[in-house]
């Protein structure tokens, strides 16, 4: 299974990061792959959608997410997140402050994709 995929909507490519129902150990590996893949993209070129539905976010995973958010910042134009309902609020706030960017949560992929595309027009 691939954690990353490109999806097109309204002539915009969206980099989808599917972390649904991943265990913490699996997330640590996937986050390293995601970081490497994003760093090969053109600066400021990516619209990303991360889906955390049912993912197991422990302290080690939260630390790795913060690291990836900092390293991928030059490449990501805008990011939306879904599946954050079970994510501890303190982790989410740390992600935003550590990465120095907004990471708006959405209820559905469609809602997030519409926002990503609309905000870029």
| pTM (predicted TM-score) | 0.85
Backbone φ, ψ for residue 9 (5° rounding) = -150, 130
Q: Is 72 left (phi over 0), alpha (psi -120 to 50) or beta?
A: alpha
Q: Which helix (H) or strand (E) holds 8?
A: strand 4-9
Domain enclosing residue 91, as ranges: 4-119
pLDDT per residue of the chain (121 residues) written in tens, 0 to 9? 345 554 444 457 899 999 999 999 999 999 999 999 999 999 999 999 999 999 999 999 999 999 999 999 999 999 999 999 988 989 999 999 988 888 999 999 999 999 999 875 5
**pLDDT reported for residue 121:** 58
Backbone φ, ψ for residue 19 (5° rounding) = -110, 20
- Contact, 7 vs 113, CB < 8 A? yes
Closest CA to 96 of 58, 64, 70: 70
What is the CA 24 to chain-centroid distance, rounded? Answer: 16
**pLDDT reported for residue 8:** 45
**CATH for 43:** 3.30.750.24
Q: Which helix (H) or strand (E) holds 110?
A: helix 109-119
Domain count, the chain: 1
> Rounded to the nearest 5 degrees, what angle is found at the Cα of 117, between the Cα atoms of 107 and 102?
60
């Amino acid at each position: 299974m691939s954690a990353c995929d490109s999806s097109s909507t309204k002539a915009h490519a969206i980099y989808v990061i599917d972390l649904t129902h991943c265990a913490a150990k699996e997330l640590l590996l996937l986050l390293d792959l995601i970081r490497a893949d994003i760093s090969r993209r053109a600066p400021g070129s990516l619209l990303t959608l991360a889906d955390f539905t049912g993912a197991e976010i422990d302290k080690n995973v939260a630390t790795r997410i913060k690291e990836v958010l900092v390293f991928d910042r030059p490449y990501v134009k805008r990011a939306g997140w879904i599946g954050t309902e079970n994510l501890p609020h303190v982790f989410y706030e740390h992600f935003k402050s550590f990465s120095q960017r907004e990471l708006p949560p959405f209820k559905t992929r469609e809602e997030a994709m519409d926002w990503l595309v609309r905000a870029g027009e």
